[in-house]
Structure 1
Amino acid sequence: MNRSAVRAIAFALTLAVLPVTPAFAKAPATAWVPTWYASPEPSGAPDAKINDKTLRQIVRVSAGGTSVRLRLSNAYGTTPLKLDDIHVAKRISGSRIDTATDQRVTFNGHNGVTVAPGAYVLSDPLTMKVLADSDLAVSFYVPGETPLATVHDIQRGALYVAPGRASNLSELPEARTDIGVGNAFPWLAEIEVSGTDTQAIITFGDSITDGYGITPDQGRTWPELLSRRLHESGINVSVVNAGLSGNRLLHHGQWARFGDGGLARFDRDVLAQPNASAVIVLIGINDLGHAQGPGSDGYVSADDLIDGLSQTAARAHERGLKIYAATLTPFIGTVFEGYYSDEKESRRQTINAWIRRQTVFDGIIDFDKAVEAPDAPGHLRPDYDVGDHLHPNDVGAAAMAEAIPLGFFDKR
């Protein structure tokens, strides 16, 4: 073989091992993390509608960032959802916004959006500096008669309503929290941020997580208080609330507004979240309370609940998430008729004993002991009680947040 042929073969072999960058290669995708979430659920007033109104929803975000985008939901709608003139801004107080930060939200470059029945949409990204543990205002105009089919039942922030098209007003003149669907707000499912090196912790549960009885618009739910604890300790994570009032683990809600069962919504509300690294699970008390004795509709044994909780661990670990189980909190003497019985308390104790000794979770959080009356086992502490002997108040939520070991989430 002559020298020229040898050089040609060597050159060809060199090309064969060189890295190839295809013409269609793209820049790395932007890393988005949820900073606020409200699990969609069916409306408790399915015939309620709204028309020619502007809604301004106040949300308290967890993580900060340099860009923001919205996720809207028509999950339970049966007709297309049409919204227009959507804005996001930093909130000053009440319904007042900082107009210097106000930006119109677009979807594929369009000012309005139509969300198909059962679907979700993501907005285009907006450049906006968002501070951790701060308030944003999301405003949207409802141009035509629109069913309030998809909502979130617990108003953690505040909802303001004005007649007509008013999304860019610095302050809305009419403040309301009821638009015909009780203490609920529609369609806004999530806010995400980018430009921050962080991941999300999802808090998954029922009304105790969602914030029933907690003073609204003050950032006093236990997930919000956990968020501040972590940030004050220099642990850069986002804590988002995937609680649903009345939710059960193994069955859909006793009423439609209590949402899909925990195992049924776990993929949507936990596993599908972008850049989630961990989940805290506190659920099961409604499985006990919302059914009567053995053989009744919806009855679940302690073993049934243990199996269901174990499934959340298996499914979280399959996706690479850490998962932490919380003990079920006290409910002896609750005012809700038929909710408590000694047999149900026996099942709660069995479940909590299993949580404390199991090895399928990455750690446990003993909320039961954090809020139990020291001189009355099985009872909620009186100073932690909203008054129904089931739901912790603001002080009780703070005790729950303090009971969570921050070391679970400290990766430094």
Structure 2
Amino acid sequence: MSTSSTLQRAGIALVAGLTLATLPHAATATAADTATTATTSAAHKGSPWHGGWATSPQMPSAPFGPNWSQSGFANHTVRQVVRVTTGGAKARIELSNRYGTGPLRITGATVALTDKGASVKAGTVRHLTFGKGRSVTIPAGGSVRSDGAPFTVRALESVTVTLYLAEPTGPATFHTFSSATSYRADGDHRADRDGAAFTESGDSWYFLTGVEVAGGAPARRDGIVTFGDSITDGVGSAANADNRYPDELAERFAAAGRPRSVLNHGIAGNQVTNDWSWAGEKGVKRFSEDVLSEPNVGTVIVLEGINDIGGSGAGVPGQPTPEVSVERLIAGHRALIRQAHAKGIKVVGATLTPIKGSFYDDAQKVNEAKRDAFNAWVRTSGAYDAVVDFDRVVRDPQDPDRILPAYDSKDHIHPNDAGYRAMAAALDLDEL
């Protein structure tokens, strides 16, 4: 992917006197491979682990059509394909039962290099352990990391995580919108090389919330988390193509010969200030659980607020949420900044992208006025350590309230693959 210096100049505006300097190296841990319940820590101080891939868990729901979250699984094998942003010689996974109604029994799990579809590459299947045993029970509301396993994987390589769920799980903690295909089979097929048994497919992720790697890049706090809503989540991008803007950012780092941990914690529909049953807990609540629990993170990019502005209108999925003023939205962002700074994490604020012609474009232009006022605050307040002006990057110069047609996924709010590439190109790698 080529980088546009013009877009970089137009899209990134550093706050005077502040830069996104890489933080010092972290010390190497002496016992990093034991299964452990996830903790809230900005950098897992002393950890050699980097996040290779991540997603935010959500409560079971079906806002966009049937999925497996509400019924859960019983004597099923679930196979999920994800792409890591940085490589290593060891791997471990994170599983979440945050929204489970009872204990979750994982009978077994494997990791392998992806071949095609539900198939994996011969000779790469590794059985994972949890505290040296192959099975683990995760309490309701809890999460767990597996032991580290020898597993060589390169940056931007796809890995397949397979879970065997012999016992009924009850409703499943999941991530609604994946832009990726997951697979299900009856019975135990965790070690299968071919995908013949996986006759069912879906487009959400279940229980899996992270893949971490070690033994590759030095253990330093240079990881990046992208935090936000559907535009961070990648709605509008092509399925199974890894073209979300965080994916494109990871590709730019890899092309420059310096792969980095770039983790996507976007949730479609998510708000900063309001919980929404189908779109996750409000950002000010989930930020500590999703962002600050990731290992060796030094920077977070925040792009969120358009659902706060538009979520109170008619025609939105689920029940409308309470109206949010610009002042309340700004207060929410200041709360996110405080949480990050308390853990030594730099924060990049992003302007909200155009909505003209979309389902959030009201006749009275109240939402547009709020978006403009919020963007003015992001650009001028100095509250963030740096600002990326995604609004200016993707808007139509002839009609600045509208997304450029070449970047429009056709719903007039979510970018397409080209739009997400432009957003990633607007971020200055040296400053990150």
TM-score normalised by structure 1 residue count = 0.87
Distance, in Å, in 2 between the alignment partners of 1:62 and 1:356 is 29
The structural deviation recorded for 1:317 is 1.2
**1:317 is aligned to 2:349:** no
Q: Which amino acid aligns with 1:272?
A: S
Q: Distance in 2 between matches of 1:274 and 1:27?
A: 15
Structure 1 residue matching 2:334: 3-state secondary structure = helix
SS of the residue corresponding to residue 328 of structure 1 reads coil
Give the CA deviation at 1:33: 1.3
Query: What is the aligned counterpart of 1:224 among 239, 244, 247?
Result: 247
**Letter matched to residue 300 of structure 1:** V
> How many Å separate the matches in 2 of 1:340 and 1:139?
48
Q: Does 1:270 align with 2:291?
A: yes
Deviation at residue 313 of structure 1 after TM alignment: 1.5
> Which residue is equivalent to 1:203?
226
Task: Say if 1:341 and 1:399 are closer, same or farther in 2 by CA, change over 3 A.
Answer: farther
What is the deviation of 1:85? 2.5
Q: CA RMSD in A?
A: 1.9
1:325-375 residue CA offsets vs partner (Å, 9 max, x unmatched): 0100000111x3776750110010011111111212111111101110111
The within-5 A match list for 1:119-138 is 119-138=142-161
User: 238-247 vs 380-389, which deviates more?
Assistant: 380-389
Residue 351 of structure 2 is aligned to residue 330 of structure 1: no
Residue 306 (1) aligns with residue 325 (2): no
Q: Which residue in the other structure is 1:344 paired with?
A: 367
Q: 5 Å matches for 1:354-369?
A: 354-369=377-392
Corresponding residue for residue 9 of structure 1: none
Tell whether 2:416 aligns with 1:393.
Answer: yes
> Residue 131 of structure 2 corresponds to which residue in structure 1?
108
- Report the Cα distance in structure 2 between the residues aligned to 1:242 and 1:95, rounded to whole angstroms: 25
Q: Distance in 1 between matches of 2:293 and 2:393?
A: 31
Q: Aligned in 2, Cα 1:115/1:341: closer, same or farther, shift over 3 Å?
A: farther
- What is the match of residue 57 of structure 2? 40
Q: 1:189 pairs with 209, 215, 218, which one? A: 209
CA distance in 1: counterparts of 2:321 and 2:126, whole angstroms: 50
Instruction: Provide the secondary structure at the position in 1 that maps to 2:156.
Output: coil
CA contact (8 A) 1:177 1:184 kept: no
Once the two structures are superposed, residues 267-290 of structure 1 have per-residue CA deviations (whole angstroms, 9 ceiling, x without a partner) of 011122111000000000000110
Counterparts in 2 of 1:273 and 1:337: CA distance versus 1, 3 Å: closer
| Letter in structure 2 aligned against 1:40 | P
Corresponding residue for residue 18 of structure 1: none
On the 8 A contact 1:332/1:340 being kept in 2, the answer is no
Once residues 232 and 289 of structure 2 are traced to their aligned partners in structure 1, the CA distance between those partners, rounded to angstroms, is: 17
Q: Structure 2: how far apart are the matches of 1:150 and 1:341? A: 39
Listed as ranges, the matches of 1:364-379 within 5 Å are 364-379=387-402
Higher helix share: 1
Paired letter, 2:61: G
Instruction: Show structure 2 runs of 5+ residues with no match.
Output: 1-28, 33-45, 63-68, 315-319
Asked whether the 8 Å contact 2:61–2:70 carries over to 1, the reply is no
Aligned to 1:8: none
Q: 1:340 to 1:30 in 2, by over 3 A?
A: farther
Paired with 1:73 and 1:166, the residues of 2 have a C-alpha distance of 21
- What fraction of aligned residue pairs are identical, expressed as a percent? 36
Cα distance, 1:185 vs structure 2: 2.1
* Counterpart residue identity of residue 351, structure 2: T
Divergent runs of 4+, >3 A: 25-30, 174-177, 337-341
Q: Once the 2 structures are TM-superposed, how far is the Cα of residue 145 of structure 1 from its aligned partner? A: 2.4
Amino acid at match of 1:355: V
User: Any stretches of 5+ residues in structure 1 without a counterpart?
Assistant: 1-24
Residue deviations 1:71-102, cap 9 Å, x none?
10000001111122311001122112113111
Q: Cα distance 1:126–1:222, how it changes in 2: closer, same or farther (>3 A)?
A: same
The aligned amino acid for 1:31 is P
Letter in structure 2 aligned against 1:346: A
Q: Distance in 1 between matches of 2:236 and 2:186?
A: 29
Residue identity matched to 1:388: D
SS in 1 for 2:227: strand
Given residue 35 of structure 1, which amino acid in structure 2 is its aligned partner?
G
CA shift for structure 1 position 107: 0.6
Q: Distance in 1 between matches of 2:86 and 2:364?
A: 41
Partner of residue 6, structure 2: none
Given that 1:206 and 1:282 are in contact with CA atoms closer than 8 Å, whether structure 2 keeps it comes out as yes
Seen in structure 2, the aligned counterparts of structure 1 residues 90 and 348 have a Cα distance that, compared at 3 Å, is: same
Q: Which has the higher contact order (CA 8 A, sep 6+)?
A: 2
Query: Is the 2:360–2:367 Cα contact (8 Å) retained in structure 1?
Result: no
Matched, 1:31 2:48: yes
The alpha-carbon deviation at position 229 of structure 1 amounts to 0.4
Q: Does the 8 A contact of 1:66 with 1:130 survive in 2?
A: yes
Deviations 1:108-164 (A, max 9, x none): 111111111110011011011110011000001111222233100112332112221
For the residue of structure 1 that corresponds to 2:272, the secondary structure is coil
Do the aligned residues in 1 keep the contact of 2:84 with 2:159 (CA within 8 Å)? yes
The answer on 1:68 being equivalent to 2:85 is no
Partner Cα distance (2:161, 2:288) in 1: 26
Equivalent in the alignment of 1:53 = 76
